[in-house]
Amino acid sequence: PKTPKGICGADADAIVARNLLRAVAAGSGCYIHIVENTALNLKAIGESGGAIKSPAALDRLAEHLAVGGATMHEKAANVANAVLADLYRPRYEPMKLTERMAYGPRYAKWEQLGILPGGAKSEVFDGVVKSSTNLNSDPVDMLMHCLTLGISTGLYGLAMTNLLNDVMLGEPVIRPAAVGLRTIDPKYINIMITGHQHSCFTDLQEQLVSPAAAARAREAGAAGFRLVGCTCVGQDLQLRGEHYQEVFSGHAGNNFTSEAVLATGAIDMVVSEFNCTLPGIEPIADKLKIKMICIDDVAKKANAEYARYDYRDREAVTEKVIAEALAAYKARRGAVAISIPENHGNDDTITGISEISLKRFLGDSWKPLVDLIASGDIKGVVGVVGCSSMVSGGHDVLTVELTRQLIQRDIIVLSAGCSSGGLENCGLMSPSAAKLAGPSLRAVCEKLGI
């Protein structure tokens, strides 16, 4: 800096910590919004007697959280209420499920450090307050607040969201899946989905393949309806794709790939509910007559129609999507050129990995994996997770190259988010990628056929 302090007297440490806290609070707010809506959807399902796709997942989660219920639906509502009660607590009241969600020794360390989170929404709120002009100037305090937000975001925004989704949408099953632009079939009315809130699509997924919807599609000249996965919600649908083989065409790509997905001309509608619904897709949608519908206004696009999703209004939202998709299909097919690169992606990306499905795959024990690491044959596991980016060489270049380097050194890569979308489209999640791995990892992959 040109001067040691800003005009208000804040030093570089305070300024940097303040900016970091503001960014972390914003990120936490996003994921807490997701888990809040997910829990609200489960609560509504529980209270209205809606479909519970995996009673086993519900039993497991309820037991883990020590939540009871006389019926499955009561149990679902009670689990959702326990999560929501935590999210809505004041900041001075620690969330009750944190200890049950956390790894024991780590929880003890957090307690010792005094960074256990109070109500998750209040933690975000005070993070914003602290990082506002001339409030907190203690960098250590602000960085500790970042750690607290990391705990609530990781345990509730990420882990809890997935556990609740397992109940409503079915548990992941390991399987080979088609990925990339090749998954788009122009014979269908194609709806690209973007966002992070898979539980907002429960009804749409079922209804798009109902006999009534199929008949309406045929009447319009299409083979039916398909959901085309994009961004994190596409990744989620791929994860649970075993249960949605008819309606889900496959995960076409990650955030930046969404522009290319639309540019194929074969997408008739975009339904968005969260990030990353890039503003950059708006002019493409306008030019190619693609209807945009947003079901959560936190991700409202300027050219999208807003149809707020609430579980109680699901039938009306689903009907709106179907009717508008049919209208868009009729208006644009024949008027817009379609070009789908057939060689983009592959048909054998191994997907459906969860803690439970992976352990089952290994013979209901972690021992084979632990033994490989303990013997030194496999050097370890590295997470390459999160958003894709355009820096360091271009779209997905950094994560793809990093992953190649890691597997060459017999290191297993654990991937999630849009990084995963890039890695799979480049073939690094297919069995054929084994030949790029170091000798030990290659032998393991070839033996297991993954």
Binding site for ligand SF4 (CB under 6 A): 231-232, 254-255, 275-276, 386-387, 417-418
Q: State the Rg of the chain over Cα.
A: 23
| Sign of the dihedral through C-alpha 152, 124, 23, 139 | negative
Q: Looking at beta carbons only, is 79 or 160 nearer to ligand SF4?
A: 160
Q: Looking at beta carbons only, is 171 or 273 nearer to ligand SF4?
A: 273
**Residue 280 CB, nearest distance to ligand SF4 (Å)?**
13
**Residue 282 CB, nearest distance to ligand SF4 (Å)?**
16
Distance CA 46, CA 280 (A): 38
Q: Quick check: 327 and 291 in contact, CB under 8 A?
A: yes
In Å, what is the CA distance from 372 to each residue of 326, 369, 429?
53, 5, 20
Strand partners, 229: 193, 251
Distance CA 339, CA 336 (A): 10
In Å, what is the CA distance from 162 to each residue of 57, 66, 98, 186, 233?
11, 18, 15, 32, 12
Distance CA 110, CA 352 (A): 32
Residue 254 DSSP class: -
**Residue 311 CB, nearest distance to ligand SF4 (Å)?**
23
**Residue 384 CB, nearest distance to ligand SF4 (Å)?**
12
Closest CA to 202 of 294, 318, 299, 296: 318
Q: Looking at beta carbons only, is 31 or 244 nearer to ligand SF4?
A: 31
Closest CA to 203 of 310, 350, 128: 310
Q: Looking at beta carbons only, is 27 or 176 nearer to ligand SF4?
A: 27
DSSP letters for 387-437: ---S-TTSTTHHHHHHHHHHHHTTEEEEEETHHHHHHHHTTTTSGGGGGGS
Q: Looking at beta carbons only, is 236 or 242 nearer to ligand SF4?
A: 236
**Residue 418 CB, nearest distance to ligand SF4 (Å)?**
3
Q: Looking at beta carbons only, is 52 or 177 nearer to ligand SF4?
A: 177
Q: Looking at beta carbons only, is 387 or 443 nearer to ligand SF4?
A: 387
| Sign of the dihedral through C-alpha 298, 304, 308, 313 | negative
**Residue 232 CB, nearest distance to ligand SF4 (Å)?**
4
In Å, what is the CA distance from 199 to each residue of 65, 85, 406?
20, 19, 34
**Residue 195 CB, nearest distance to ligand SF4 (Å)?**
7
**Residue 410 CB, nearest distance to ligand SF4 (Å)?**
27
**Residue 442 CB, nearest distance to ligand SF4 (Å)?**
29
268 sits in which H/E element: none
Residue 69, phi then psi, degrees to nearest 5: 165, 140
Q: Looking at beta carbons only, is 382 or 385 nearer to ligand SF4?
A: 385
Q: Looking at beta carbons only, is 283 or 386 nearer to ligand SF4?
A: 386
Q: Looking at beta carbons only, is 20 or 416 nearer to ligand SF4?
A: 416
**Residue 397 CB, nearest distance to ligand SF4 (Å)?**
15
In Å, what is the CA distance from 161 to each residue of 17, 272, 312, 399?
28, 18, 20, 25
Q: How many Cβ atoms are within 10 Å of 113's Cβ, its own excluded?
A: 11
